[in-house]
Amino acid sequence: MDKDDNHPGVKTVGWALVQASRLHRSRTGDKLSELGLFAGQEQVLQALVNSGPMTMGELAGILRVRPPTASKTVSRLSTLKLIERHTEPGDARVVRVKLTKEGKRKAAAIDALWNEVEAELLDGFDNKDRKRLRKLLRKAAKNLAGITGADQTGFEGDDELDEIGSSDQPAAIPA
């Protein structure tokens, strides 16, 4: 018998979500180590590739971490020559960060890594099930974000998912 079978929450959705999340994080961490990165560092690179150069404060906000945490990660990525830091002209207290060419290459490799882990995670799921799972997880996250006051950025964009019915046909995406 698996030791987890004795946990009181083992038959709950939350328990299943925690277990899947733990395994996903572990698998992603293994793949990131192949790129010479630690879990969490990829989020900095992805934020910069998606939003472009930004201040340390802006980066900390996007990552939902305290500025010293963002600063420590940026320092490590700077040592790896993936990020450059520059002070803002006219105000040396403001530090702006941006990706280097190598950082952009690493970010592309991270995209491929995420796609690979996503394929492993959802192996055997049809398109309808993938969309439904994404919709349900976003809804659950939005529920908790509303209660906790957490930032709800990233929960939008489900309009096309609302159209998913009981058929196996892909939902029509509104124009």
Alpha carbons 154 and 172: distance in angstroms, whole number: 21
Give the domain ranges of the chain: 10-121, 123-161
**Residue type present at position 51:** S
| 76-113 tens-digit pLDDT | 999 999 999 999 888 888 999 999 999 999 999 999 99
Residue 168: per-residue pLDDT:
41
Residue 155 has pLDDT above 60, yes or no: no
Residues 6+ apart with CB under 8 A from 82: 45, 99, 100, 102, 103, 106
Per-residue pLDDT band for 162 (boundaries 50, 70, 90) equals very low
Mean pLDDT (whole number) for 169-174: 36
Residue 141 has pLDDT above 50, yes or no: yes
Please give the CATH architecture assigned to the domain spanning 10-121: Orthogonal Bundle (1.10)
Residue 31: per-residue pLDDT:
97
> What is the layout of strands, in order, in the sheet containing 54-55?
54-55, 91-99, 83-88
Alpha carbons 144 and 147: distance in angstroms, whole number: 5
